[in-house]
Amino acid sequence: MASHQKRSYSFAGFTALYIAVFLTLITGVFFSFLGTVSYLFLIPVALISFLSSFFIIQIRVEKFIYKKINKLNKEVSLLESASFGRDQITTDMDTLTKQVRRFTQHKKLEIEALKIRESYRKEFLGNVSHELKTPLFMVQGYVETLLNGALDDENVRDKYLERANKGIERLAYIVKDLDMISRLEVGGLTLDKEKVDIVELFNSAFELLEMKAAKKNISLVFDKDYPDPIYVNADVERIQQVLTNLLDNSIKYGKKAGTTEVSIEGLMKDKTIVRITDNGVGIEQSYLTRIFERFFRVDKTGSRKVGGSGLGLSIVKHIIDAHSEKIYVESQLGIGSEFSFTLENAE
C-alpha cells in the first residue's frame, strides 16, 4: 500500500470558512451595539477563527475516520490492519472508496476460490461414494444370492463367488488408489529426490508387469538397447508408481499381442524425456484433456471390462507436478497412445 495518502482539506476548509464568517458577523454586530468606531479588528477575528476551526476540524475528522475504519477493520477484518497505520489515514473520500473497493474485490476473489474448492470437494465425495457403491452392491447381491440357496447349486456357485471376488478386488484397488492420493496430498508431496537409473527402474517395472502383459500377449520393450545407466533426479518410489501406472494402462488398453515401447531420450542439456507408447485402443481427441482428472474413465459403462479406479493417471500427474516436470499425451483412436514426461538429469 502507498505510504503517502492523499488528504482532502476542502471539507475542513469550507466548514472553517462558514464558522469564520458566522463568528465575524456576530462579533461585528455585537461591537456595533457598543458603538465601536473601527471594524479593523474584525480581520484578525476572522483569521483566527478560520485557522483555529480549520485545524480543529481537520484533526477531528481524521481521528474520526481513523477510528471508524479501525472499528470496521476489527469487525470484518476487511482491511489488513498491518498495512493500515495511523499516518496512512486518508480524508479523501475518492481514495478511501477506492481502497475499500480494492479490498472487497480481493475478498470476492477469495470467496470465489473457496466456492470452487467447496464444489470440487462435494463432487469428489460424490464420485468416491459412487465408485464404491457399484462394486459394493455387486458383491452384496452375489453374496445374498449365494446365501439364499445358490450355494447349493454347483452350476452357479463358483461363478457367483468369482464375480463377488471381482467386486472385492475392485473395491480394494479403489481404496488403495484413494489412499495413495490422500497420502500424496496430506504429505504435502515432500519428495525424496535422489540419483536414480531410469533404465533400471523400467527393467524392474517390466518384471513386475510381465505376467499381466503375458496374459494379453503384449510385449514390453525398449525402442533400442540401453547398455548404460541413465541417471535422473527423482523420488524413486513415486517415479516407480508413475512407470507402473502408465505401463499398466498400456497393457489394459493395449490390443492383444500388441507392443508397449519405452524410449528414453535426452532433451536439451538438463532434461530427459521418457516415452511410453502402445498400439492399443487409443483415446478420442476430445477426452485427452480430461483423462488426468480423478475418476475419469473414457469408458464408464464398463463394457471394456478392465478394472480400474480412474485414479491412476491423476496420481501420475500429481507426482510429475510435484517434480515440477511436464507430462504429455498424444493418442489416436484405434491406433494407440503415447504418454511422455520429463525428468531432471542427474550429474
CB of 345 to ligand ADP, least distance (A): 26
Q: Is 342 helix (H, G, I), strand (E, B) or coil?
A: strand
Q: Which three cell numbers stand for residue 337?
A: 497412445
Please say which residue, 99 or 279, places its beta carbon nearer to ligand ADP: 279
Q: Is 297 in the site for ligand ADP (CB under 6 A)?
A: yes
Q: Is 49 in the site for ligand ADP (CB under 6 A)?
A: no
Q: Is 205 in the site for ligand ADP (CB under 6 A)?
A: no
Please say which residue, 62 or 338, places its beta carbon nearer to ligand ADP: 338
Contact 239, 202 (CB under 8 A): no
Q: Which of 49, 53, 90, 249 binds Mg ion (CB under 5 A)?
A: 249
Q: Which stretch binds Mg ion (CB under 5 A): 25-33, 42-50, 300-308, 318-326?
A: 300-308
Residues 100-139 touching ligand ADP, rule: CB under 6 A, are none
Please say which residue, 282 or 312, places its beta carbon nearer to Mg ion: 312
Give the C-alpha separation, 256 to 248, whole Å: 14
Please say which residue, 230 or 327, places its beta carbon nearer to ligand ADP: 327
Please say which residue, 66 or 339, places its beta carbon nearer to ligand ADP: 339
Binding mask 301-330 for Mg ion (x = CB under 5 A): -------x---x------------------
Q: Which of 24, 272, 279, 337 binds ligand ADP (CB under 6 A)?
A: 337
List Cα–Cα distances, 317 to 215, 279, 288, in angstroms: 28, 22, 13
Please say which residue, 23 or 318, places its beta carbon nearer to ligand ADP: 318
Closest to 312 (Cα-Cα) out of 180, 135, 214, 125: 180
Please say which residue, 54 or 339, places its beta carbon nearer to Mg ion: 339
CB of 305 to Mg ion, least distance (A): 14
CB of 143 to ligand ADP, least distance (A): 25
Contact 240, 205 (CB under 8 A): yes
Q: From the list ligand ADP, Mg ion, none, which binds 184 (C-beta under 5 to 8 Å, kind-based)? A: none
CA 252 to chain centre: 30
Give the C-alpha separation, 142 to 317, whole Å: 36
Q: Which helix (H) or strand (E) holds 263?
A: strand 259-267
Q: Is 274 helix (H, G, I), strand (E, B) or coil?
A: strand
CA 209 to chain centre: 33
Closest residue to ligand ADP, Cβ-based?
308
List Cα–Cα distances, 285 to 130, 166, 280, 288, 341, in angstroms: 26, 31, 15, 5, 19
Residues 244-263 touching ligand ADP, rule: CB under 6 A, are 245, 249-250, 252-253
Q: From the list ligand ADP, Mg ion, none, which binds 220 (C-beta under 5 to 8 Å, kind-based)? A: none
Contact 226, 264 (CB under 8 A): yes
Supply φ then ψ for residue 273, to 5 degrees. Answer: -115, 130
Q: Which three cell numbers stand for residue 185?
A: 496430498
Q: Is 241 in the site for Mg ion (CB under 5 A)?
A: no
Cβ count near 292 (within 10 Å): 18
219-222 and 259-267 strand pairing? parallel
Please say which residue, 22 or 328, places its beta carbon nearer to ligand ADP: 328
Q: Is 135 in the site for Mg ion (CB under 5 A)?
A: no
Q: Which stretch binds ligand ADP (CB under 6 A): 86-94, 202-210, 277-285, 318-326?
A: 277-285
Give strand pairing partners of 261.
Answer: 221, 277
Contact 208, 282 (CB under 8 A): no
- Residues lying near Mg ion in the complex (CB under 5 A) are found at 249, 308, 312
- Residues lying near ligand ADP in the complex (CB under 6 A) are found at 245, 249-250, 252-253, 278, 280-283, 291, 296-299, 308-314, 337
